[in-house]
Each structure stands twice: as structure tokens, then as C-alpha cells.
Amino acid sequence: MRLADKLKQFERSIVFMNWGTTAEYGKILYVGDDFVEFEVLNIDTMEYNDKVLINSQLILEVVYFSTDISRIAIEYAGRLPSIGNETNLN
């Protein structure tokens, strides 16, 4: 099985990816035959700030399940605006 085939299972998921000389947390947006579109997550602000296209041959490591990634996903979800939990004060 090729790496690209395996990564397609994790599209739209938060992962830790190590490629070339860079390692970042972020979301896999799209997996093509020869590249991966990756949105980098700034851990300090919990906002996505960069989108990069990575040659799949440069990817060294992808961590898609760990306690650290679970912590980041929970922290990111905690900063999302809540829907339906507003109270009417009038």
C-alpha cells in the first residue's frame, strides 16, 4: 500500500506531520497521487494560518492518533463558538 492511499483515510483529520526539515500539527485537506495539501495549525492561537502542498516523497512521518493529538483536537474544539447553548436573557 502506498502512503498516499493510507493518508486518504485521514483527510480532514488533525495530524502531526514531519516532512523535509519541518514538523507541524495541522489538517490534511487533500491527498493526491503526488502531493498532499496540508493546513498548518498554529498551536498558540489554535488557528489555521498556512496551507502547503507537500510532495508525498518528502513525508517522513505522520502521526494520526496519540494523546498529544487528542489534546490539540480538544483544545481546538474548545475555542470553536458554541451553537445552541445561548441563553435568552430578555
* Within a domain: 88: no
Residue 83 has pLDDT above 70, yes or no: no
Task: Give me 68's grid cell.
Answer: 498529544
Domains identified in the chain, total number: 1
| pTM of the model as a whole | 0.73
The CATH number assigned to the domain holding 55 equals 2.30.30.100
- Give per-residue pLDDT as tens, 6-60: 889 989 988 899 999 999 989 999 999 889 999 998 888 888 889 999 998 999 9
pLDDT of residue 54: 95
DSSP single-letter state for residue 82: P
pLDDT of residue 81: 67
pLDDT of residue 58: 92
Distance CA 35, CA 46 (A): 25
